[in-house]
Structure 1
Amino acid sequence: MIYSQTHSDTVHLWLAAAAPQAGGAPAEQGAEPKVETRSLRVLIVEDEFYISLHTRGLLEALGHVVVAVAVAADQAVSLAEREHPDVVLMDIRLIGSRDGIGAADEIAGRLGIGSIFVTANTDAQTRRRAEAIQPLGFLEKPLTEQRLRLGLSKLVA
C-alpha cells in the first residue's frame, strides 16, 4: 500500500526478466546456498515516492512483506498501530512538522516496535538525537540490496 498526499499519482513500472541461464539454475552452478531466514513485516516511512518504491522492491526481493508506506510522522504512528510491523524503516527528514526521530520514539515507546533509520546525510546533532532513542540501526542512502540485507540480518536470523 502506498499513500499519496494527493492520491493522484500514477506510476508505470516495467521490469525486465532475466533470461534463463544455460546449464541449469544458478543454484546448480555453484551459487551460494540460500540461508534460511524469516520474512519480516516492514513499515516504510519515506516521503520521496521513488525512494519508497525502490525500498519496497528491495525488501520484496529479499522476501520481506511491506505492510504499508507512510510519508509523514503522524501517519507512520497510525499505520504502525494498525499494522503492527516487525520493524520500521524510517527516514529522518519527513514532510510535516515532526521528523522520523520523533515518530520512531513514539512507535517504540507505545508499541515496542524498533526502527532502522535510513538517511542520506545527518549532521552530528541530528545523529545524537537519533542515537538517543536507541534505534535498531542506521542505513545510508542510497539504499542497496546489500546494505538492506546487512541492516536486517540481526532481525531475521
Structure 2
Amino acid sequence: MLRIDAVVKPNASQRTRVPGQPLRLIVVEDDGAAADMLAVVVTDLGHTLCGVARTEDEAVELATRERPDLALMDVRLGGGDGIAVARRLNLGHGVRSIYLSGNSDHGTMARITETYPLGVVHKPFSHAQLKVALDLAARRLR
C-alpha cells in the first residue's frame, strides 16, 4: 500500500527549463557497456550528457557538481539500489529520474512509483523508446 507521506514530490528548487532546450542529464549505470551505449544515444538525440556514475556516491557527487535536469537511473546497481539513489538525488538536489529496469515485478514498480519518476523504460529498450521517454520528461519538466 502506498503511503501518501512516502511520495517524493518534485523539488521546488529545481531550475525551470526553457522549452525546446536540450536536457542536461546524468547516467547512473554500473554496467560499463550499457553506460557507454546510453551516453551515445543521449548525445545522438541532442541532449547534454553531464557524466556517468556507477555508484550512489558518484551519482550524488555528479549531481552536486553538474546540476542536471534529470538522471537516467538503473534500478539495480551492483552493490546498491537505484531507487534509493533516485530518492536521494530528488530530495537533495531536485533531480528527478527516468528509470531503466529489467524488472517489472509489482514490488519494484511500487517502489519506483513512490519516487515520482519522469518515466520507466524497460530493458531491453530501443533508441526510439528512450527518445520518447526523454521527450516526455522534457515536457514534464517545463
TM range (shorter): 0.7 to 0.9
Correspondences of 1:8-157 after superposition (within 5 Å)? 37-96=20-79, 98-157=80-139
Q: Is the 8 A contact 1:70 1:79 kept in 2?
A: yes
* 3-state SS, counterpart of residue 134 of structure 1: coil
Shift of 1:67: 0.6
Between the aligned residues of both structures, percent identity stands at: 36
**TM-score, normalisation: structure 1:** 0.72
Q: Note the aligned Cα RMSD (angstroms).
A: 1.5
Alignment check: 8 A CA contact 2:119 2:137 kept: no
More helix by share: 2
Identify which of structures 1 and 2 has the higher relative contact order when contacts are C-alpha pairs closer than 8 Å and 6+ apart: 2
Whole-angstrom distance in 2 between the partners of 1:95 and 1:120 = 14
Cα shift at 1:74: 2.0
Distance 1:95 1:89 in 2: 16
TM-score (normalised: structure 2): 0.79
Measure, in 2, the Cα distance between the counterparts of 1:126 and 1:47: 18
State how many pairs are aligned.
121
2 CA distance for matches of 1:95 and 1:155? Answer: 26
More strand by share: 2
Asked if the contact 2:29–2:35 (Cα under 8 Å) also holds between the matched residues in 1, the reply is yes
1:73 shift after superposition: 1.6
CA contact (8 A) 1:92 1:118 kept: yes
Residues in 2 aligned to 1:149 and 1:50: alpha-carbon distance in whole angstroms: 19
